[in-house]
């Protein structure tokens, strides 16, 4: 877990062969879970591999309140995103993975995330949008909930508000 902030920092400063031509920036997402009482907040760094393909890396914090689920988790995550640029609205589909641990430290967590999003370009530098995703969390060891049921994984659906700030070349 200590290695994750170092890797994230290196990605921010690593030179890119096409840096003068590439778009990069930060994304912040926050919102509730549709399937359980809970929420997720994430922040990440993104960079365009091409005009359509984007890679983002970041950190996420999830809180879950029902008794049958662990209290929450912190994960480092990465997504590959395909953009479908349509004037000022930019829809995308994405898939990603993450790794971290439960807030209690009782177990490691591996995540698989998939979904769709749509961003509205306020300007070439700032975008706002909405993301709908599914997140499956697989625990390293079975986690016992308050009712005594052992769980190896949990799947949730999320709706997240997105904000993106682009720095570097905007195109």
- The confidence score (pLDDT) of residue 45 equals 94
Whose CA is closest to 55, among 110, 2, 8? 8
In degrees and rounded to multiples of 5, residue 10 shows phi and psi of -65, -40
Q: Which residue has the higher pLDDT, 78 or 19?
A: 78
Instruction: Give mean pLDDT, residues 43-47.
Output: 92
Whole-angstrom Cα distance, residue 131 to residue 115? 7
Residues in the chain: 171
Number of Cβ within a 10 Å radius of residue 91 = 14
Q: Give CA–CA dist 5/41, Å, rounded.
A: 17
- Does the pLDDT value for residue 98 go beyond 80? yes
0.75 cut: is pTM over it? no
Unique residue bearing structure tokens 């949008």? 129
As beta bridge partners, residue 76 has 59, 99
pLDDT tens sequence across 48-59: 888 788 999 999
Minimal CA–CA distance to 130: which of 108, 160, 106? 160
Please say whether the dihedral angle defined by the alpha carbons of residues 54, 94, 162 and 155, taken in this order, is positive or negative.
negative
How far apart, in whole angstroms, are the C-alpha atoms of residue 114 and residue 35? 15
- CATH hierarchy code of domain 3-13+28-166: 2.40.160.20
**Ordered DSSP codes for 35-56:** SSSEEEEEEEEEEESSSSEEEE
Question: Over the stretch 7-34, which tens digit does the pLDDT of each residue have?
Answer: 555 455 444 444 434 688 999 999 888 7
Q: What pLDDT is recorded for position 117?
A: 94
Token pair 């689920």: residue: 69
Average of per-residue pLDDT across 125-153: 87
**pLDDT range class, residue 125, cuts 50, 70, 90:** confident
Q: How many CB atoms lie within 10 A of CB 34?
A: 13
- Domain extent listing, the chain: 3-13+28-166
pLDDT at position 17, please?
Answer: 41
């Amino acid at each position: 877990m200590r290695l994750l902030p170092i890797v994230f920092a290196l990605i921010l400063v690593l030179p890119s062969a096409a840096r003068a031509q590439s778009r990069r920036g930060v994304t912040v997402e926050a919102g509730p879970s549709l399937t359980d009482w809970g929420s997720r907040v994430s922040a990440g760094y993104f960079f365009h591999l091409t005009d359509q393909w984007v890679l983002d890396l970041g950190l996420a914090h999830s809180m879950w309140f029902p008794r049958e689920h662990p209290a929450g988790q912190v994960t480092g995550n990465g997504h590959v995103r395909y953009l479908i640029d349509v004037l000022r609205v930019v829809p995308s589909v994405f898939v990603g993975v993450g790794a971290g641990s439960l807030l209690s430290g009782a177990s490691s967590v591996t995540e698989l995330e998939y979904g769709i999003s749509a961003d509205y370009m306020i300007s070439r530098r700032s975008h706002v949008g909405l993301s709908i995703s599914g997140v499956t969390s697989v625990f390293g060891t079975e986690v016992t909930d308050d009712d005594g049921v052992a769980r190896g994984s949990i799947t949730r659906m999320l709706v997240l508000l997105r904000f993106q700030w682009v720095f570097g070349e905007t195109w």
